[in-house]
Amino acid sequence: MKRILLVSLILALLLGGCGKDENPSKIQSIPSLTAEEIIAKASPKLDSLSSFHFKLSQKGGGTPITLGLQMTGASGDIAPPDKLKMKIEAKWVGQFVETDLVTVGKTTYMTNPLNGKWETLTEDFNAVTLFQPNTGIKAVMESATDLSILDEESVGGALCFHLKGMLVSEALDAIAAGHAAKGLPVKSDIWIGVDDFLLRKVVLEGKICDDENEGIIRTLELSQFNEPVAIELPD
């Protein structure tokens, strides 16, 4: 009888623990907001960042930027409002090349794809506009229409709202390095952190420039928020 009582007690303790969250902090509350309210909360967050890392990738073709380069991807760091360093992946006269670019203020240096030496970029190309308030990704978020909310997803370890909407190509002129056409429809997916309302990811489907391929897809990911970065012009 004692053995039966002991087994029953153990079972009761085990069953009592089943389904009980030993760490209540793991249960994340999802605010009940409209898509427009989520965007409104996220937009000012971009202005408050001291630095972040970005990665831009493209499928289905490149984007003309400068010196005959067709950019297919880029990654780097930015310290708002006017410091940026990045590595660009591109096609140039039919070949795959990589080049580095640094912008501080109004001065931009890029490595020559032929010899790797730093050269002052005199053409009207400033990649930092992609992240400036009036021209960059913040303006893109605020320009999205026909917004809807999909199921939450994890991006970079952070639970995110997933929004879907539409844009017109001219709203993406900074991403197209000043070559955007007008009136082209672009599908947009936007992921924004549930806890901090920081933009984590944007996917843009559809050509922005007239000479791009149909169905081109761009993915921009942001991470490493407010981490120290050193961005200086080359000697």
Residue 231, CA atoms < 13 Å, CB-side half-sphere: 28
Cβ neighbours for 169, distance < 8 A, ≥ 6 positions apart: 176, 180, 181, 182, 183, 184, 185, 186, 206, 207, 208, 209
Residue 69 lies in a domain: yes
Beta strands at 83-92 and 95-104: parallel, antiparallel or unpaired:
antiparallel
Predicted TM-score (pTM) of the model is: 0.83
Q: Is pLDDT of 109 > 80?
A: yes
Q: What is the spatial distance between Cα 73 and Cα 32, in angstroms, rounded to a whole number?
A: 35
Q: Is pLDDT of 168 > 50?
A: yes
- CATH code for the domain of 93: 2.50.20.20
Q: What is the spatial distance between Cα 203 and Cα 231, in angstroms, rounded to a whole number?
A: 27
Q: What is the spatial distance between Cα 132 and Cα 106, in angstroms, rounded to a whole number?
A: 13
Residue 191 lies in a domain: yes
Tens of pLDDT, residues 51-86: 999 999 999 988 888 888 889 999 999 999 899 999
Range(s) of the domain holding residue 116: 33-223
Q: Rounded mean pLDDT of the chain?
A: 85
Residue 232 lies in a domain: no
In this prediction, residue 19 carries a pLDDT of 44
Number of domains in the chain: 1
In this prediction, residue 39 carries a pLDDT of 96
| Closest to 195 (Cα-Cα) out of 235, 145, 151, 161 | 161
Q: What is the spatial distance between Cα 69 and Cα 12, in angstroms, rounded to a whole number?
A: 69
Q: What is the spatial distance between Cα 146 and Cα 187, in angstroms, rounded to a whole number?
A: 10
Residue 27 lies in a domain: no
Residue 11 lies in a domain: no
| Closest to 203 (Cα-Cα) out of 134, 153, 133, 132 | 153
